[in-house]
Amino acid sequence: MPPDRPDDAAAGMKLRSLLFVPADSERKFAKASGIGADALIIDLEDSVAPPRKTLARGMVKELLGAEIARDWAFLVRVNPLGSGLTIEDLAAVVRPGLDGILIPKVSGVADIELISNYVDALEVAAGVTPGHVKLLVVATETPAAMIGFSSYATPSRRLVGMTWGAEDLGAALGALSNKEPNGEWTFPYQVARAQCLFAAGAAGVAALDTLYGDFRDQAGLAESCRIARRDGFVGRIAIHPDQIATINSCFTPSEADIAHARRVVAAFAADPDVGTIGIDGKMYDMPHLIAAKRALASIGEGV
């Protein structure tokens, strides 16, 4: 994979904002489908009680078969490997209309490849174009995952995005809290966040920040998104429709940013034999070109 590949351009999937929607709630789906999220994650895992799992699968099948007019990616979070529910989830949802699967509690690339193999067969059986269904993972939810990040240096054929989470990891570790009194992550969860970012970079996929719990705190969400984008995340998980506009705004480059990125790309294109170039008295090299290409890819401009 070339090092300057824009994070999610190859997958053709915009991933600024991804909103969780319980799979067994038609009302919440109807509201979410017009909210402006880049992707909806129809959730078969935590937001669906065990007695309603079968019902929820059937509802997802109906949604996928409804041929809904939409401008968002249709993702489904399945139950994790080891739950005894993953195969049934996959068999129910891998069908025309599905764009991707979010896999929780992965331990590394081996889990992703196992899911990929299942999806290979299910795509053929359902008449889906081979390779169409992409995979995203929650990469930090188990202690085993935290020591398996080096496996992402070998990119997976379906993987397009990685996010992280603190709640399941904290439960597995027996942590009393994952936050400092001032609201910042404690050190173990700062490590989890950073490891996810590094692993996504190694795999050449989109790094997506975890959810911001207080959906009423728009100012806090905006500041958290600013920091996330500064550090290299390209999008974020949302738990409430009211968070989508703020997330989209924060992860969309400004007009000034886009204009500058176009100048950088154009300058290198005009003189392809140089590795460093001057623009307005400042020097730019390959890392600046990569950043400029990513900025343009985030608004759908091919580079």
For the chain, which residues make up each domain, given as ranges?
17-252, 257-296
User: Residue 1's pLDDT is what?
Assistant: 34
CA dihedral over 49, 208, 150, 110, signed as positive or negative? positive
- Nearest Cα neighbor of 240 from 14, 17, 16 is 17
Nearest residue to 168 via CA among 143, 187, 193: 143
**Which is nearest to 254 in space by CA: 228, 231, 226, 281?**
226
pLDDT tens digit string along 99-109? 999 999 999 89
Q: Which residue from 157, 83, 143, 159 is spatially nearest to 107, judged by alpha carbons?
A: 143
As separate numbers, helices (DSSP H) first and strands (DSSP E) second, the chain gives 11, 10
Q: Which two tokens stand for residue 185?
A: 């992550």
Q: Residue 265: which H helix or E strand, with range? A: helix 255-270
CA distances from 251 to 21, 81, 161, 211, 294 (A): 21, 32, 15, 14, 12
Q: How confident is the model at residue 5 (pLDDT cuts 50, 70, 90)?
A: very low
User: How far is CA 247 from each of CA 9, 22, 26, 58, 283, rounded to the nearest angstrom?
Assistant: 19, 20, 24, 31, 31
Q: Tell me which of 3.40.50.10860, 3.20.20.60, 3.30.420.10, 1.10.3080.10 is the CATH number of domain 17-252.
A: 3.20.20.60
Residue 10: pLDDT band (50, 70, 90) is very low
The 3-class secondary structure across 123-143, one letter per residue, is HHHHCCCCCCCEEEEECCCCH
Q: What is the pLDDT of residue 281?
A: 87
Task: Please check whether residue 96 is in contact with residue 127, taking contact to mean a CB–CB distance below 8 angstroms.
Answer: yes
E strands, 133-198, where? 134-138, 159-163
Percent of the chain's residues with pLDDT above 90: 74
- Label the pairing between strands 282-284 and 235-238: unpaired
Q: How far is CA 241 from the centre of its chain?
A: 17
Q: What is the pLDDT of residue 70?
A: 87
How many angstroms separate the most distant Cα atoms in the chain?
A: 65
Q: Strands 134-138, 282-284: parallel, antiparallel or unpaired by DSSP? A: unpaired
* pLDDT of amino acid 61: 94
Residue 135 in contact with residue 115, Cβ under 8 Å? yes
Phi and psi at residue 131, in whole multiples of 5°? 90, -5
Collect all residues with Cβ–Cβ distance below 8 Å to 288 and sequence separation of at least 6: 264
What does pTM read for this prediction?
A: 0.88
Examine the pLDDT at 205 and tell me if it is beyond 80: yes
Looking at per-residue pLDDT, the higher value among 296 and 168 belongs to 168
Dihedral over alpha carbons 292, 153, 38, 213 (to 10 degrees): -110
